[in-house]
């Protein structure tokens, strides 16, 4: 993978203190926020195209594919433009819902245009819907390391979700400037792959 974004190529763009994950997270969030809007739109379109191609391949072996997607917050890659195309190709989508502070995420069937409400975190979730177990998940990343360990916001919701059985296939979605050197925790589970605007890890 190569970095093409001006924001990602900045001399101070690589978090330096690997021992403090909170500091690394803060630095990565700042980097993501600084990506110019026109670059962001282009990156998001590339990510959406790659996600659509990948999901279409999955459909060849699973015509009932349920894909867990996400509603972007805090400058996460916005690939919602691809969701309608996925539905048109036969993919069923589900959005995550926080049911308890220390529980795994629940996923609820959702189609673009369905009524949404905001949860206690201010995140959009379906107002109604059937709970399902997705076959695969798109997971937004604050950062990631070369071993495909994801860094999130520290709540542990996806960690608990990936610890359940059966474990869904996992694809991280991130900008390339989220690549950083940090140590994974004992409970961290490597993602199967990570899509960025520059390629796949």
150 is in an annotated binding site: yes
CA 171 vs. chain centroid, Å, equals 7
23 is in an annotated binding site: yes
| Residues 130, 135, 138, 139, Cα dihedral to 10° | 90
Strand-strand pairing, 131-132 and 106-110: antiparallel
68 is in an annotated binding site: no
For residues 184 and 145, is the Cβ–Cβ distance under 8 A? yes
25 is in an annotated binding site: yes
152 is in an annotated binding site: yes
154 is in an annotated binding site: yes
24 is in an annotated binding site: yes
124 is in an annotated binding site: no
158 is in an annotated binding site: yes
| Residues 142, 74, 114, 130, Cα dihedral to 10° | 40
The interaxial angle of helices 37-59 and 81-88, nearest 10 deg, is 20
Q: Which residues are annotated as a binding site?
A: 21-25, 76, 150-158
Annotated binding site for substrate: 76
User: Which residues are documented as binding site for ATP?
Assistant: 21-25, 150-158
């Amino acid at each position: 993978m190569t970095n093409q974004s001006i924001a990602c190529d900045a001399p101070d763009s690589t978090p330096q203190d690997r021992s403090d994950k909170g500091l690394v997270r803060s630095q990565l969030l700042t980097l993501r926020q600084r990506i110019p809007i026109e670059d962001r739109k282009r990156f998001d379109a590339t990510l959406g195209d790659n996600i659509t191609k990948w999901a279409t391949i999955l459909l060849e072996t699973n015509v009932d594919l349920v894909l867990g997607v996400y509603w972007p917050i805090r400058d996460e890659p916005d690939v919602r433009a691809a969701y309608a195309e996925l539905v048109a190709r036969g993919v069923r989508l589900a959005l995550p819902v926080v049911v308890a502070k220390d529980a795994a995420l629940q996923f609820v069937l959702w189609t673009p245009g369905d009524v949404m409400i905001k949860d206690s975190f201010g995140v959009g979730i379906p107002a109604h819907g059937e709970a399902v177990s997705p076959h695969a998940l798109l997971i937004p990343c604050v950062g990631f390391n070369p071993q495909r360990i994801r860094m999130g916001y520290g709540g542990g919701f996806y960690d608990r979700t990936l610890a359940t059985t059966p474990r869904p296939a996992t694809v991280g979605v991130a900008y390339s400037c989220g690549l950083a050197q940090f140590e994974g925790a004992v409970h961290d589970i490597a993602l199967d792959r990570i899509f960025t605007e520059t390629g796949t890890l």
